Amino acid sequence: MLYVCVLAVVLLVFCIGAAIVRCVNKRRRPRWGNEMRESLIGADYMPSRVLRERKADERSKKINPAELRPKEWERQVIGKGSFGMVYKAEFRGQPVAVKEVIVPNSHSKTEPGQSILRAKIRRVSTNFVDEVEMGCSCRHENLVTMLGYSAAPRMLLIIEMMTGGSIFDQLHHSKWQPSPAECLKAAFDVAQGMEYLHTHFELPVIHRDLKSANLLLLQPPASLASRSSGRVQSLSGAATLGSPGAEGLTLLVKISDFGMSRTKSAKEIEQDEVDEETPETDYMTHCGTTLWMAPEILRREKYNEMVDVYAYAMCLLELLSCRLPWHGKGGTAEVPAKVVSGERPDEQLKFRPASPSQGAHAATPARERTTGGPSPSLEAVGEQVLDSLREVVKKAWAQDSTQRDRFPAIVCELERIQTQYQAAFEKHRRTQQVSQVLLEAKSDKELWQQRMKEGSSPKMPGGWE
Ligand SMILES: Nc1ncnc2c1ncn2[C@@H]1O[C@H](COP(=O)(O)OP(=O)(O)OP(=O)(O)O)[C@@H](O)[C@H]1O
Ligand SMILES: [Mg+2]
């Protein structure tokens, strides 16, 4: 009996001990992970250390992840990229997006396997530091704001919440068909954000991953919301063209992901080539990125900030055609050869789907519906805007990067289009107001004549004698 009791006590002590060890190990795992990572890539690459040595501004953005609410914020996934996950959370009373950069792992214990893993972790860590640095030094209405970061034990970026998601998702998943005004506003927002990156700093900042998945909307597009609710968008032709006071202005696009941005010295620009050591992973072969890649990158040549102008052309093409670049021109694998040979998706540039907000009866302004269909002049103005944007695309995707317009020139051109469009829109609105007055006068006159026939003699309205 005593023997059984002793055995039970020993067993109990063993179980409690094992539980305690497991618990402690679980709690220490992140630290262990960091230590292992440090031993693998070297302390100089550890983001927590690198960032600690940087400017005070960057340190002031360092946050304690415990401040994120709710405590189980990881349950609310809003997106997934090739480098990590994006979650929805609240930070100091503000809704935020938390982007976690996942550290690559490998089961391979061989030296080549370990060396690839080392390269991957170094790259991911450097990207994270770049992203934090850029987030700390950039302030512009068309760039997403980084509110904070945490480098250890996990690499987290706290970014302003863009409830409209990405242009990629809106176009290709929600089937958003932007109106000409929305296309113009989006083109303007992106060009302004890019102009800032290329010109605001002593050296140009090259984004290098400009694509529709990295263009985020502050709110879902108004034209999409009104379409889904079946509501007529607005009067005065705004549904057809998009007036400056209608969906065009509620749209706000911001550029995200500065992880691959890099400030370049003139020397670096001269010497820079696509990193030959870069493993053919993630973003280099990521099909979603190849479609926006300039020929000089695909040819692995020297390149500069003009690669962003090419990528911008592809984003604009996407907005105008509501299709991925090179849609219907073979598989993604065939695109690089076409780009390098100088071919461009010209047919796609002319294509525009029949938009529910343009052609559909439901979206036609009520007054126009009763008076013989949408105004052709307004549609013509919309077409003019689209044609002008197509010209911007053509200049921006030139094979020779020196022939591409720079962003300050693109912004000027978009301002000119906007002024022209606004003038045409105002003219149209005034014409509509005049025809409305005439229409009302006509119906008043008919009413008066009717009453005259019926025998009553109301006072004749002025000007009808
Ligand atoms: N600040 C944000 N607010 C709201 N949603 C966001 C925010 N940042 C990212 N997202 C969402 O998370 C998704 C994934 O973003 P992420 O930047 O990780 O990957 P990606 O840009 O799609 O691809 P890649 O990893 O190749 O850059 C985006 O497509 C977007 O829908
Ligand atoms: Mg992104």
Question: Which tens digits make up the pLDDT trace of 218-233?
Answer: 999 987 766 665 443 3
**CATH number of 318's domain:** 1.10.510.10
> Do residues 294 and 419 both lie within one domain?
yes
DSSP state at residue 278:
S
Where is pLDDT greater, at 443 or 213?
Answer: 213
Token reading at 203: 């050296």
**Which atom of ligand 1 is found nearest the CA of 83?**
25
How far apart CA 429 and CA 243 sit, in angstroms, is 10
Model confidence at 236: pLDDT above 70: no
**Closest ligand to residue 173's CA:** 1
| Mean pLDDT computed over 449-457 | 71
pLDDT at 105: 77
pLDDT at 55: 66
- Non-local (6+) Cβ contacts of 167 within 8 A are 186, 212, 213, 215, 216, 217, 253, 315, 318, 319
Q: Residue 307 domain-assigned?
A: yes
Whether ligand 1 lies within 6 angstroms of the CB of 158 is answered as: no
How far CA 309 is from CA of 113, 140, 153, in Å, comes to 37, 19, 37
| Sole residue written with tokens 């982007």 | 99
> Do residues 203 and 138 both lie within one domain?
no
* Selection from 182, 130, 96 nearest residue 88 by Cα: 96
**Closest ligand to residue 168's CA:** 1
> Do residues 245 and 147 both lie within one domain?
no
| Mean pLDDT computed over 150-169 | 94
Where is pLDDT greater, at 139 or 373?
Answer: 139
How does residue 371 score in pLDDT terms, banded at 50, 70 and 90?
A: very low
| Mean pLDDT computed over 35-49 | 72
Whether ligand 1 lies within 6 angstroms of the CB of 131 is answered as: no
Whether ligand 1 lies within 6 angstroms of the CB of 220 is answered as: no
Closest C-alpha to ligand 1, atom 18: 81
Q: If you measure from the C-alpha of residue 56 to the centroid of ligand 2, how many angstroms do you get, rounded to a whole number?
A: 27
How does residue 45 score in pLDDT terms, banded at 50, 70 and 90?
A: confident
How far apart CA 387 and CA 382 sit, in angstroms, is 9
Whether the full predicted model's pTM is greater than 0.85, yes or no, is: no
Cα torsion angle, 101, 172, 339, 312, sign: negative
Q: Residue 19 domain-assigned?
A: no
Model confidence at 28: pLDDT above 70: no
- Where is mean pLDDT largest: 46-50, 52-56, 241-245, 398-402? 398-402
**Closest ligand to residue 162's CA:** 1
**Closest ligand to residue 167's CA:** 1
pLDDT at 263: 52
Closest C-alpha to ligand 1, atom 12: 79
| Mean pLDDT computed over 117-137 | 86
Ligand 1 test: best mutation among 80, 166, 287, most atoms within 8 Å of CB? 166
Model confidence at 279: pLDDT above 90: no
| Mean pLDDT computed over 57-81 | 87
> Do residues 425 and 319 both lie within one domain?
yes
**Final residue of a structural domain among 114, 141, 160:** 160
Q: Residue 442 domain-assigned?
A: no
> Do residues 121 and 239 both lie within one domain?
no
Token reading at 18: 């094992």
> Do residues 226 and 262 both lie within one domain?
yes
Whether ligand 1 lies within 6 angstroms of the CB of 414 is answered as: no
> Do residues 276 and 186 both lie within one domain?
yes
Q: Residue 16 domain-assigned?
A: no
**CATH number of 108's domain:** 3.30.200.20
How does residue 21 score in pLDDT terms, banded at 50, 70 and 90?
A: low
Where is pLDDT greater, at 92 or 55?
Answer: 92
pLDDT at 231: 43
DSSP state at residue 268:
H
> Do residues 156 and 202 both lie within one domain?
no
Q: Residue 449 domain-assigned?
A: no
Whether ligand 1 lies within 6 angstroms of the CB of 169 is answered as: yes
Q: If you measure from the C-alpha of residue 154 to the centroid of ligand 1, how many angstroms do you get, rounded to a whole number?
A: 18
Whether ligand 1 lies within 6 angstroms of the CB of 79 is answered as: yes
> Do residues 142 and 172 both lie within one domain?
no
Model confidence at 238: pLDDT above 50: no
Q: Residue 270 domain-assigned?
A: yes
**Final residue of a structural domain among 135, 160, 185:** 160
pLDDT at 320: 97
> Do residues 295 and 315 both lie within one domain?
yes
How does residue 398 score in pLDDT terms, banded at 50, 70 and 90?
A: very high
| Mean pLDDT computed over 189-210 | 94
What is the residue-averaged pLDDT of the chain? 79
pLDDT at 322: 96
> Do residues 155 and 182 both lie within one domain?
no
Q: Residue 101 domain-assigned?
A: yes
**Final residue of a structural domain among 160, 182, 217:** 160
Ligand 1 test: best mutation among 77, 86, 90, 208, most atoms within 8 Å of CB? 86
Closest C-alpha to ligand 1, atom 20: 81
Number of domains in the chain: 2
**Which atom of ligand 1 is found nearest the CA of 144?**
1
Q: Give the H or E element holding residue 148.
A: strand 146-150
Q: How many CA within 13 A on the CB side of residue 71?
A: 0
> Do residues 188 and 218 both lie within one domain?
yes
Domain that holds residue 94: 28-160
Q: If you measure from the C-alpha of residue 351 to the centroid of ligand 2, how many angstroms do you get, rounded to a whole number?
A: 27
pLDDT at 266: 39
Q: Residue 330 domain-assigned?
A: yes
**Closest ligand to residue 78's CA:** 1
Cα torsion angle, 365, 370, 372, 377, sign: negative
pLDDT at 287: 40
- Non-local (6+) Cβ contacts of 48 within 8 A are 34, 151, 152
Number of H helices, E strands in the chain: 19, 10
Whether ligand 1 lies within 6 angstroms of the CB of 166 is answered as: yes
Model confidence at 49: pLDDT above 70: yes
- Non-local (6+) Cβ contacts of 199 within 8 A are 407, 408
**Which atom of ligand 1 is found nearest the CA of 288?**
26
Model confidence at 276: pLDDT above 50: no
How does residue 249 score in pLDDT terms, banded at 50, 70 and 90?
A: low
pLDDT at 464: 45
Model confidence at 310: pLDDT above 80: yes
The b/e string for 63-88 (b: 16+ C-beta within 10 A; e otherwise) is bebeebeeeebeeeebbebebbebbb
pLDDT at 270: 42
